[in-house]
A and B are shown apart, each in its own frame.
Chain A
Amino acid sequence: MPAAAEAGRAPGPPDGGWGWVVVFGAFLSIGFAYAFPKGLAIFFKEIQNFFGTSYSEVAWISSIMLATTYGAGPISSILVNRYGSRPVVMFGGLLCGVGMISAAFCTSILQLYVCVGFITGLGLALNLQPSVIIIGKYFLKRRPIANGLAMAGSPVMLCTLAPLNQFLFENFGWRGSFLILGAILLHCCVAGALFRPIGARTALVKTLVTEEGKDALKGKITEDGPVEDKPEEEEEKDCFEKINQYLDFSLFKHRGFLIYLIGNVLMFLGFFAPIVFLAPYAKHTGIDEYSAAFLLSILAVVDMVARPATGIIANSRWVRPKIQYFFSFTIAFNGACHLLCPLASSYTGLVVYSSFFGLAFGMVCAMLFETLMDLVGAARFTSAVGLVTIAECCTILLGPPIGGILIDTFGDYKYMFIKCGAVMVLAGTFLFIMNYYNYRMLAKEEKERKRKEEDPKSVRTEDEGKKNWNKDSTQDGPELEPLREEGEGVKKEMNGTAEV
């Protein structure tokens, strides 16, 4: 967490005030990004009839959209690194709107692939990443709560969009609905307008800085270890420096980042499949259509409540320092739910499963980006999130089909649940062990640094002057290193404020 480093030249994140407005904007933006592709499902039967295609050809629209939203992560990161969150989100909103409006006039399914799949998908990608990034810029102390609240946008939007889409479809047909949905997606631009760039502030905000002191110190402990890698790298070719400016590939040397990446890529193999197959499984056990649909509604409602609640829990002083353990626990808990699902054969059992699944799903989603921010810090988070989403893209899209193959081969849903549960428990255990190792290494590196700073370097302290409000010696040494790395970051932030 670079809060202390930022505090050097700019006061730390405000953790409130306009930040909550930004959380609302992120809520909208993230909600559209996750819920919109799912909400489109209502139109697919009609589109299939209209163009005379098979259902699988229409389902490609959804796949292309999902693939683009996750695959365009790095593009999003590069643009945010260059221009800041606000222009990117507003442009993303425009792109979504244009995509859906042009989809309303499509005359073939290929055109729909392009308009709805690529263009709207790209727009949503440009919405998703910057929204998560800007939360990291506005919050530090209360960041888990902010993340939890913002991620709650997904289930809320889904519950809003689905009936809305149904209403639009019944009154305007699919073409009219796409047109109006294009206009509705423009609200992402409104969300973007709320993302006031935050950067170097003036001396007025000094008081805020002292409050963040202790958290910044804690944060430094996790940040310092990996930061030491950076300086050597930057002395390499200029070309690499330039690329790193836009997309930080040096993250692949970051221990915490690699742990997160491997753990998450593994987890996503079993993450979405159970949702896809919950209702078919319910019908398979003899439950009627509406009750099966109701199970998913229970899931959504529990999810909605679980996300902010998890944010609050994660923010508490018992959990926050060891938030990675909490994340691993939630993943393992999720996996355990799936492993126990085959035992639930009655409707009540499935209702209980749905509630626990909704809870676990919400907990994991709320923590997803918070833990990454915790590991790499807000400055490098921009690039980290892009790299992570493109890596996850593959497993996310493979998960349900593999589940489907298991179901078709064995003719029984339980193997799919067992597979998902096992994968997630494995991912959770892996993350737990590796993070234990990571915390220990970080503590070791912290001790090393403290020993090195025994040498008097008090001259630097005076130079820092008003920047160095906390006289702890641990602050002095590493100040210079992040200065070099975050010098660019600050310049960009300054550029950001200059725009407005």
Chain B
Amino acid sequence: MPAAFSGQRLQCLLLLLPLLCTRVSGGSPAESAVTTQDSNQTEVNPVTKMQAGHESSGNSVATERLKPASKQNSQSVSGHEIVLSGASVEKDIPVPSSTKIELTCKLDENSDLKDPQVTWKKGSETISHTSKTQNSWTIELTISDKSHLGSYTCFLKGEKEISAVFHLQVPNLEGRKKPIISYEGDKAVMVCKTEYNPKSWIWYMNVTNGTGRVSIDKVLPTDKFLIKIKSAEVSRLEILKLTKEDGGVYWCEASFDLGTSETRFELRVLSITTPLKPFMAVVIEVAVLVITIALLEVCSKRKGKRGEKEFDQIEKL
């Protein structure tokens, strides 16, 4: 065994592995690498529909995900800025707890738009500027309640109108888009992650008879489900002794100060015979190939020996 297996060495393999799986799948989102983007997709769609109404210059709408470097406590003020040049821009801003936020719209110096008229709006309600400079306009918001979340837009009106939208929302959860597959008798594990610290986690499953969903805490028997919380940001549901009926949809919900956020998992339980069929097919194919090759060899050897005997006879003559 070679020398030092340092932490970095494994980190390097850590880098290698997800990238190799994204690379040759031709860019299809492999689970290991792209989950953040995946979980954003559902959030963004309703927003882009809204944006279609605002679009003016016909440029593409850029959507950014903003991750503040450090987690904010309710005392600090965090600032978010969008720099506009010619196109409308949107930003998702996760707000895990009550805090004060400053939103700034800045006009790029190279932009054609000069001295625009700027209005900040949330929905139909206009908000007055907190501060203003030559080409940036800021509002300060105190987010302490669910109703304060939403989309805040700054409109810059000149010869044309462009806008920047800040989507203030509860942080997203990272789950699994594709179904989780497990086998009867085995266990299934669902891991729900977020970047911030929620107050609590709840897992839901579908009610067996009827519609709606029930919290897994309340489901009996209690040894079938194990909820482990390794750290504040990760919650792990283990379903033991799987049966076919355990397949279906499960939800993971995290409560933050300002609301809840959830993500969905789908579980498929397969019987052991499902992979056995392709397995046996491949094994039989291999056996057939090996036997064919062996037979061909034996046959050609016999022909060779016969040919040799003839040759030797001719030589003797």
Stretch at the interface among B48-56, B130-138, B140-148, B181-189: B181-189
Stretch at the interface among A136-144, A174-182, A231-239, A439-447: A174-182
Q: Within 8 Å of chain A (Cβ to Cβ): is B299?
A: no
B1 near A71 (CB under 8 angstroms)? yes
Chain B min CB distance to A81 (Å): 23
**When chains A and B are docked, how far (Å) is the Cα of A294 from the Cα of B286?**
34
A163 near B12 (CB under 8 angstroms)? no
Is chain B's binding surface mostly helix, strand, loop or mixed?
helix
Chain A min CB distance to B186 (Å): 7
Closest chain B residue to A290, Cβ basis: B27
**When chains A and B are docked, how far (Å) is the Cα of A293 from the Cα of B30?**
11
Stretch at the interface among A5-13, A183-191, A251-259, A317-325: A183-191
Closest chain B residue to A182, Cβ basis: B279
B19 near A173 (CB under 8 angstroms)? no
A45 near B18 (CB under 8 angstroms)? yes
Chain A min CB distance to B213 (Å): 23
Enumerate chain B residues within 8 angstroms of A404, measured Cβ to Cβ.
Answer: 8-9, 11-12, 15
Known: A179-B275, A276-B16, A400-B9. A193 touches B21 (CB 8 A): no
| Chain A positions 184-230 with a Cβ under 8 Å from a chain B Cβ | 184, 186-187, 189-190, 193-194, 196, 202-204
Q: Within 8 Å of chain B (Cβ to Cβ): is A403?
A: yes
**What residues make up the interface of B, taking CB atoms closer than 8 Å to A?**
1-28, 30-34, 37, 178, 180-183, 186-187, 189, 191, 228, 230, 236, 270, 274-276, 278-280, 282-283, 286, 289-290, 293-294, 297, 301, 307-308, 311
Enumerate chain B residues within 8 angstroms of A300, measured Cβ to Cβ.
Answer: 23-24
Closest chain A residue to B290, Cβ basis: A193
Enumerate chain B residues within 8 angstroms of A196, measured Cβ to Cβ.
Answer: 297
> Could you list some 27 contacts between A and B, CB below 8 A?
A41-B16, A41-B21, A44-B32, A45-B18, A45-B31, A50-B187, A67-B1, A163-B25, A165-B21, A166-B30, A173-B270, A180-B282, A187-B289, A190-B286, A190-B293, A193-B290, A194-B293, A204-B307, A273-B12, A276-B16, A289-B22, A293-B19, A293-B22, A394-B3, A401-B4, A404-B9, A404-B12
Chain B min CB distance to A153 (Å): 15
Closest 6 CB pairs of A and B: A401-B9, A162-B24, A173-B181, A176-B275, A41-B17, A56-B10
B23 near A162 (CB under 8 angstroms)? yes
Contact indicator per residue, chain A 29-73, by CB within 8 Å of chain B (1) or not (0): 000000000110110111001101001100110110001000100
B13 near A190 (CB under 8 angstroms)? no
Closest chain A residue to B289, Cβ basis: A190
**When chains A and B are docked, how far (Å) is the Cα of A39 from the Cα of B16?**
11
Known: A60-B5, A293-B23. A204 touches B17 (CB 8 A): no
B178 near A170 (CB under 8 angstroms)? yes
- In the complex, number of A-B residue pairs with CB atoms less than 8 Å apart: 195
B13 near A400 (CB under 8 angstroms)? yes
B21 near A42 (CB under 8 angstroms)? yes
**When chains A and B are docked, how far (Å) is the Cα of A183 from the Cα of B279?**
6
B26 near A186 (CB under 8 angstroms)? no
Enumerate chain A residues within 8 angstroms of B307, measured Cβ to Cβ.
Answer: 204
A280 near B15 (CB under 8 angstroms)? yes
Q: Within 8 Å of chain B (Cβ to Cβ): is A398?
A: yes
B11 near A163 (CB under 8 angstroms)? no
* Contact among A38, A52, A176 with B274 in the assembled complex (CB-CB below 8 Å): A176
B26 near A163 (CB under 8 angstroms)? yes
B182 near A405 (CB under 8 angstroms)? no
B27 near A293 (CB under 8 angstroms)? yes
A172 near B13 (CB under 8 angstroms)? no
